[in-house]
């Protein structure tokens, strides 16, 4: 496997259409080579605060000293989101006693349906150590924008049902809280573990 690093992110972004960045959750992308983007030169927030799945207040800064795997999705996603969470279950298993060095954080882009109560049933079903986050639509939009995450509701004939297309990157933050890598969806646990170990070894 190879690790493709691209520092000219601005130029790259100009050549990628929005339709490429928005991944429909019922169309998972095949995992082949690792194509992790070096995001160390990008601007991301040092901290943010949202409501966790237990109803408490989450602050990113409270997790300094650990590698954080942060990604955005929603509980009614058909494939990409549960698959990503499942891969992180495998990562935790592979880390064994070292699993406490990693914190997985799932931020919903569907706060209308993903209340703390819904997240409290969904997120710990994968692993009780995972943290699910929600908030007001304005709070979610503000955090998503800060990470360059786009999302849009795709309406169905029945307005009660809809899907959400969203940017499907996993953000790997180092122990100081800085985003080091952006990892496209569809990577197996072995690849994620390798990238997490690289981030942890190069603070």
Contact between 140 and 107 under an 8 Å Cβ cutoff? The reply is: yes
Place of tokens 């207040």: 57
Calpha distance 15→62 (Å, rounded): 37
DSSP 16: S
pLDDT averaged over every residue in the chain: 84
For residue 117, the model assigns a pLDDT of: 97
Q: How far apart are CA 114 and CA 145, in angstroms?
A: 19
Q: Which residue has the tokens 């029945």?
A: 158
Question: Which tens digits make up the pLDDT trace of 80-108?
Answer: 899 999 999 999 999 999 999 999 999 99
Closest CA to 185 of 13, 69, 15, 28: 28
Strand partners, 102: 67
- Per residue of the chain (203 residues), what is the pLDDT tens digit? 444 443 333 333 333 333 333 444 444 444 345 778 999 989 998 899 999 999 999 999 999 999 999 999 999 998 889 999 999 999 999 999 999 999 999 999 999 999 999 999 999 999 999 999 999 999 999 999 999 999 998 887 766 788 998 888 999 999 999 999 999 988 899 999 999 999 998 76
Burial of 200 (0-12, 13-18, 19+ CB in 10 A): middle
In this prediction, residue 203 carries a pLDDT of: 67
Q: Tell me the DSSP string of 63-119.
A: GTTSEEEEEEE-TT-SSHHHHHHHHHHHHHHHHGGGGGGEEEEEEES-TTT--HHHH
Contact 162, 156 (CB under 8 A): yes
In which element (H, E) is residue 122 found?
helix 116-122
The pLDDT value recorded for residue 159 is 66
Residue 187's nearest CA partner among 47, 96, 80, 60 is 80
Q: Kindly list the structural domains of the chain, giving each domain's residue range(s) and its CATH number in brackets, ordered by start.
A: 9-201 (3.40.30.10)
- The tokens 């309406």 sit on which residue? 155
Beta bridge partners of 59: 49
DSSP secondary structure string for all residues of 178-196? -EEEEEETT--HHHHHHHH
Specify the 3-state DSSP secondary structure of 27: coil
Q: Tokens for 164?
A: 């959400």
Give the pair of three-digit tokens for residue 5. Answer: 């690093």
């Amino acid at each position: 496997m190879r690790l493709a690093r691209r520092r000219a992110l601005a130029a790259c972004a100009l050549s990628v259409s929005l339709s490429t960045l928005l991944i429909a959750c019922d169309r998972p992308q095949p995992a082949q080579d690792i194509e992790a983007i070096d995001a160390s030169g990008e601007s991301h927030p040092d901290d943010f605060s949202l409501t966790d799945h237990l109803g408490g207040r989450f602050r990113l800064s409270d997790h300094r000293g650990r590698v954080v795997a942060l990604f955005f999705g929603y509980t009614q996603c058909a494939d990409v989101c549960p698959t990503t969470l499942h891969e992180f279950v495998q990562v935790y298993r592979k880390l064994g006693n070292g699993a406490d060095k990693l914190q997985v954080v799932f931020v919903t882009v569907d706060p209308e349906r993903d209340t703390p109560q819904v997240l409290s049933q969904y997120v710990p079903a994968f692993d009780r150590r995972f943290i699910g986050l929600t908030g007001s639509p304005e709070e979610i939009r503000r955090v998503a924008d800060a990470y360059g995450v786009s999302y849009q509701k795709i309406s169905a004939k029945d307005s009660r049902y809809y899907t959400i297309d969203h940017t499907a990157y996993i953000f790997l933050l180092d122990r100081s809280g800085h985003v080091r890598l952006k990892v496209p969806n569809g990577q197996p646990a072995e690849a994620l573990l390798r990238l997490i170990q690289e981030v942890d070894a190069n603070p």
